[in-house]
Amino acid sequence: MARTLVVDQEACSGCGTCAAIAEDCFAVSDDTDKAYVVDQSACSEDEIQEAIDTCPEEAISWQE
Ligand code: SF4
């Protein structure tokens, strides 16, 4: 089964780092001030991995 990219809404601080690194994949919601996945296929694997590695809250992960 395909993997699904998820942002843990509890953990996310809304810092915006993921959206800065992979702007086509992540955005920060104006409503919740939390990041969400826009389109996991819109960025490269490297960009997503960098966002995962850089997130200060370790809120981004793949779910199988
Ligand atoms: S980098 Fe992490 S904490 Fe910051 S907005 Fe993205 S998911 Fe949230």
CA 26 to ligand 1: nearest atom: 6
Label residue 49 exposed, middle or buried (CB < 10 Å: 0-12, 13-18, 19+): middle
CA 8 to ligand 1: nearest atom: 7
pTM for the full model? 0.94
- The residues of the chain scoring below 70 in pLDDT are 1
Report pLDDT for 2: 86
The structural domains of the chain, with segments of one domain joined by +, span 4-59
The CATH class that applies to domain 4-59 reads alpha beta
Report pLDDT for 29: 98
Closest residue to atom 6 of ligand 1, CA basis: 18
Tell how far the Cα of 2 is from the centroid of ligand 1, in angstroms.
23
- Over the stretch 11-24, which tens digit does the pLDDT of each residue have? 999 999 999 999 99
CA 15 to ligand 1: nearest atom: 4
Report pLDDT for 52: 98
Report pLDDT for 7: 98
